[in-house]
Structure 1
Amino acid sequence: MNQDSGSVPDQTPKAASRLVRRRRWVMGAAAAATVLSVAGLYGASFVQSPAQAAADTQAPKPSVITAPVVRQVMKSTVVLRGTFSDGQTVSATPTQVAATKPGTQSAALVVTGVFAQPGQRVKAAQPLLEYAERPVFALPGNVPMYRDLVVGEEGKDVAQLQQALETLGYSTGSDTTGHFGAGTASAVTRMYKHMGYAVPVSADTPGKAADTATPGGTGGPQQNKGLAAHATAPAVVVPASEVVYVPVFPARVATVPVRVGDVVKGPVITLARGDMTLTGHLDPSERGLISTGMTADIFSEATGVHTTGTVGSVGSLVTPGDKNAKDPSGTGDAASAGGAAYLPLTVKGNKPWDARFAGQDVRITLTAATTTEPVLAVPQAAIVARADAKTTVSVLEPSGKQRAVPVTTGVSADGLVQISPDHGSSLAPGDRVVVGT
């Protein structure tokens, strides 16, 4: 059967195959074109023109670093470490128990009372502690108590005892200076009774007082009458085990290494012969910044205690191992400065040192006002020295432009330099000066 020209296309298998191949070819061509386009774009990203390459290798445009002009009092500040020490000290080490009547049985050296604590300030003739119920106390003086003083003794230590008694209000009567007579014995008796303790006496046979109360054992009728009254009494004694001498009162207790019940085997109390001393360790390179009288701020990080003082002196260089160096702290070997060489710097307190500073390592800040009133100042990095010896700073204007301002420099401290704009130039606090790029 024949078909005319208006019939449907040929649907034979051969024709269908040609149509499928044609569609696959079109789709493949489209995919290839897509891949080529992507590859071209990716490859183009690695291709630069010479101009672009040069632009990409140029250094970035420098940024400007600025700092403000300030107005303030210029101060030079130095910070260093320092140590509080006791300086010279004197200790009491009882070696025997004094008798209060002839024939008294000896007692053990056992601590029976502790009345003072480290850091405490004490008065003369104030019981500090007791052993075997006998007191240990201090009197004013410089000569060490090196022997028991008994009625009839003579010497400068007796004169010191008499002076201490007179200072405390206990008259030594008509005794000559340096002679332990009846008047001195009476004063010693009153002092002990005021402290609440029996007066110590000699364990020797009574009668020495009558023979030696005055030089040569002679005197007027009234004096001899007084001696006769003492003829049968035991001689008054001031035991070396009970007294320590300190030059200045109130004295400060440095250590109390014993407690009630301890057997005395060494010092029972140590007193400082003066107030605490503060010695700083100054870096030798900073010596030119320091002068005596400079204000010092002292702070203990451990206790939080703060006070002020002034520089008293600056000593000679102390180096590690130098045992002959004169160091007020008494070390002299640079150990407390971390082994580095230093200059010992003494600081005097504006008032007696707080007892809580005892033995503390502290921070010392020394400040010297180098200008009497506020001045203009900029960082050291802002100063530009030109070839013509002129000094300028560069001010950054709000527009971004820089304006050179001729200035005259003054003192420097803590990284800042005092400046004064030259005549005809303007500079004010808050202006931004260039310190770097």
Structure 2
Amino acid sequence: MPKKRIVIAATAAVVAIALGVTGFTLMNNANTDESTNTVSPAAETATVTKTDLVERVETKGTLNHGKAATYGTQLTGTITSLAAPGTKLSVGTEMMRVNERPVFTMHGKVPAWRNFEEGMSDGHDVMQLEQNLQALGYFEDEPDEHYGWATASAVAQWQKDNGFEWSTTLELGRVVFVPGDVQVSAQQAKVGDAASTSVLEVTGTSKVVTAEVPSNMRSLLPVGAKVDVKLPDSTTTQAVVESVDPPVEQEDKSGQKTVKVPVQLSLTDPAAAEAYADVTVNVATTRTIATGVLAVPVRALLAEPGGKYAVEVIKNGVPTRVQVELGAFADDLVEITSGDLHEGDKVVVGE
């Protein structure tokens, strides 16, 4: 009969009793059939290998269009028209009307905070405006931070083409800068309300995965890292870490505080998730614990007195108990740092 694996988590007392019983059995069967000293043909074995130990870590995430942001206008007046949910807002798109005059979106990270007009001081907001006017075909020079005649004439022509009088001044609130193409996810105001800076809620146009991971996983998910995303239908697609926000402290229902790191991932194949929105997905990533090490399955380990471990090595068909010292663990493998064990050896593994 093959010897049972001794559970690693067993106490020293249980291990000692088990070893005592085993010793008694061996002494009383020393003269029995020789087959008891050889490994059973049914015993499962594994090959000792030199390999990399790779740990797989999983967490939950949400597949949606990303974190929502709210935009509006500094203009005063009455909202007379609003972009509907699902509307894509790009460079030069009308997002609303105030007193029946359009308000447009343009790309830029700096919010509009002053009129654009001749004689204004230089600034990055001027460059943003010129870049957008160039994209719309109105500004032909190299964009810079100076509001010169080329800028003024481009502003005047663009306004005239959109139903305004010829004017080299673009009033504050006529243009709303957003980071890139967005889509309307909800209306925060309705037609007839007074114009304000909280009118439309928008998200990105592509689906992303957002997750809040424990702080100890932060190093596993640097910007640019590739991860696996398991969808509700159990298919797996790849994603890339797009952004990592600063850690935030959260409190659960029991009052216990934890630190989580918000992470956003973009899908490499957006079509794979086309059928899903606002669903929970599994996010999995791996990290290498050790490279080129001698390793055996964790199930091959036998507990020894004094917190030590051994494995049974098959030599000439006979299982020989060999004491070993352990290194890193990763999934179902463990590193062997010392002991009479070699690559290619066969070891008995438990059921």
TM-score (norm 1): 0.50
Question: Is 1:363 the equivalent of 2:330?
Answer: no
What are the superposed Cα offsets for residues 288-338 of structure 1, whole Å, 9 maximum, x if unpaired? x8474764223454997843225976x8xxxxxxxxxx43xxx64345999
Cα deviation, residue 124, structure 1: 1.5
2:176 alignment counterpart: 244
Question: Structure 2 CA distance, aligned partners of 1:302 and 1:262?
Answer: 41
Name the structure with the higher helix share. Answer: 1
What are the superposed Cα offsets for residues 32-67 of structure 1, whole Å, 9 maximum, x if unpaired? xxxxxxxxxxxxxxxxxxxxxxxxxxxxx9xx9976
Cα deviation, residue 362, structure 1: 3.9
CA shift in 2, pair 1:128/1:79, >3 Å: same
Question: Structure 1 CA distance, aligned partners of 2:308 and 2:71?
Answer: 67
Q: Work out the percentage of aligned pairs sharing the same amino acid.
A: 19
Question: Structure 2 CA distance, aligned partners of 1:145 and 1:188?
Answer: 15
- The letter of the residue matching 1:69 is A
Question: Is 1:78 the equivalent of 2:57?
Answer: yes
For 1:395-414, what aligned pairs fall within 5 Å after superposition?
A: 402-405=319-322, 409-414=326-331
On the 8 A contact 1:396/1:434 being kept in 2, the answer is: no
Question: Structure 1 CA distance, aligned partners of 2:243 and 2:167?
Answer: 49
Question: Structure 2 CA distance, aligned partners of 1:384 and 1:309?
Answer: 42
CA shift in 2, pair 1:123/1:132, >3 Å: same
Question: Structure 2 CA distance, aligned partners of 1:79 and 1:424?
Answer: 33
- The letter of the residue matching 1:187 is A
CA RMSD of aligned residues (A): 5.4
Question: Structure 2 CA distance, aligned partners of 1:373 and 1:270?
Answer: 52
CA shift in 2, pair 1:80/1:413, >3 Å: same
Name the structure with the higher strand share. Answer: 2
Cα deviation, residue 172, structure 1: 7.2
On the 8 A contact 1:396/1:433 being kept in 2, the answer is: no
Give structure 2 stretches of 5+ with no counterpart: 1-24, 26-39
TM-score (norm 2): 0.59
2:79 alignment counterpart: 109
Cα deviation, residue 76, structure 1: 0.3
Secondary structure in 1 aligned to 2:151? helix
Cα deviation, residue 393, structure 1: 0.7
1:382 alignment counterpart: 301
Secondary structure in 1 aligned to 2:86? coil
1:165 alignment counterpart: 133
1:433 alignment counterpart: 349
Secondary structure in 2 aligned to 1:307? strand
Question: Structure 2 CA distance, aligned partners of 1:358 and 1:75?
Answer: 32
1:140 corresponds to which of 103, 107, 132 = 107
Question: Structure 2 CA distance, aligned partners of 1:424 and 1:176?
Answer: 67
1:296 alignment counterpart: 227
On the 8 A contact 1:282/1:345 being kept in 2, the answer is: no
1:91 alignment counterpart: 71
Question: Is 1:154 the equivalent of 2:120?
Answer: yes
Question: Structure 2 CA distance, aligned partners of 1:175 and 1:423?
Answer: 68
Name which one, 1 or 2, has greater alpha-carbon Rg: 1
Secondary structure in 2 aligned to 1:171? coil
For 1:203-218, what aligned pairs fall within 5 Å after superposition?
A: none
2:200 corresponds to which of 266, 269, 283 = 269
Cα deviation, residue 378, structure 1: 1.4
Give structure 1 stretches of 5+ with no counterpart: 1-60, 98-107, 202-233, 316-325
- The letter of the residue matching 1:262 is V
Cα deviation, residue 240, structure 1: 3.5
On the 8 A contact 1:141/1:246 being kept in 2, the answer is: yes
